[in-house]
Amino acid sequence: MTDAATPSIGIHDLALATSHHSLDLESLADHHGIDPAKFTVGIGQHVMSVLAADEDIVTMAADATARIIARNGTDGIRTLLFATESGIDQSKSAGVYVHSLVGLPPTVRVVELKQACYSATAALQFAVGLIARDPSQKVLVVASDVARYDLGSSGESTQGAAAAAMLVQANPALLAVENPAGVYTEDVMDFWRPNYRSTALVDGKGSIKAYLNAIGGAWQDYADQGGEPFESFASICYHQPFTKMATKAHRHLAVLNGQNPTPVEVAAYLEDTMRYNRLIGNSYTASVYVALASLLDHADDLTGARVGLASYGSGSVAEFFGGVVQPGYRDHLRREEHTAMIDTRVPLDHTAYEVLHKTTLPEDGREYRTTAERAGSFRFVGLNEHRRLYERG
């Protein structure tokens, strides 16, 4: 809770972006000769976003951020925090490219944060702290990721790509972030991607166990810090590596709180949080905020309702916190924009998908140009003398 003299701080605007292409998981199932229900029912996924050759985390992030700036301008923005686990450089923040592409002034600090799928939540909390120090400042929090696994692997069906850009400020229009937050960290090897690999490694069963353990630990810390009761949350947005994971996580927290909901009750409680993720796939750092956008865009009037956010990043770090939906929030939503973004992706057949998946950048940094495909405002043009090149559409 906040003191009456202290302005609320939270998410004022939220915009999503995703890829130019998509792959229907029924097509993937047909290619592998398996029942499509393994994907559509077993993991709760229907479609996954697939990057075009001229897309990456920067182009998606720039698309989402440009929409925020088009509506709100740049006055007061002093910080851009870029969260990703799909980093493109060991030194330079991907956010600096975004800063240039969207025309932010030089008086904006830019930092990249990494901790698997969790770091966007860290960025949001850091933003709240900066604004608490100076309520006149605003912070852009941008999460952008590509989930990519080996062809034919168990993780292939959980691929995806998306960016979520948030404008964080005092007196927000969408969601006021509450104190306290519950956190949990444990050193586990459930999912990781060494520097020498372009695709991740995952211990499937171990990752589910680690996720549930960390979310439970974060909830317990939230309760110990004096957090609100479980039943006070109108909905909870979970990190969704696949949407069925959110149902497992909610069931886990419900049982910890002495409840025993049926599968039907859990599905109904979470349905509005899963609509976008079901059609986009895993977006790592962006995932829980894709879920939040989905909830706000689709739920009945949530004015004054408390919403929980359960964030998890393998390795592992988790956080649970709440926020209150603000009066008039519906006037600031982007449902039509988000729906069009998903519906206008260009479907791939399996052959074209495999060609894109197998296409990688030269490791020696030589001259390289991408094929112009994407419909967005920004393109990844290629490489020149080890430099990444971008252009505005």
Q: Which residues are catalytic?
A: 85, 117, 239
Write the DSSP symbol of residue 326: P
Q: Is 35 annotated as a binding-site member?
A: yes
Residues in contact with 146: Cβ distance below 8 Å, sequence separation at least 6, in sequence order:
51, 56, 57, 86, 160, 161, 284
149 known ligand binder: yes
Contact 24, 348 (CB under 8 A): no
Query: How many Å apart are CA 129 and CA 9, to the nearest integer?
Result: 9
The rounded distance, in Å, linking the Cα atoms of 291 and 270 is: 9
| C-alpha distances out from residue 211 to 16, 143, 206, 236, 318, Å | 25, 20, 9, 16, 8
Q: Helix (H, G, I), strand (E, B), or coil: what is residue 49?
A: strand
Q: Is 209 annotated as a binding residue?
A: no
Sheet containing 317-325, strands listed edge to edge, beginning at the edge strand earlier in sequence:
109-113, 77-83, 138-147, 160-170, 9-18, 175-185, 317-325, 306-313, 233-238
Burial class of residue 45 (count of CB atoms within 10 Å of its CB; 0-12, 13-18, 19+)? buried
CB atoms within 10 A of CB 269: 18
Q: Which residues are CB-contacts of 288 (< 8 A; sequence separation ≥ 6)? A: 117, 120, 121, 237, 238, 239, 240, 309, 310, 311
- Say how far apart CA 164 and CA 143 lie, in whole Å: 5
Is 248 assigned a ligand-binding role in the annotation?
yes
Name the helix (H) or strand (E) containing 161: strand 160-170
Tell me the binding residues for (3S)-3-hydroxy-3-methylglutaryl-CoA: 35, 149, 248, 282
Tell me the binding residues: 35, 149, 248, 282
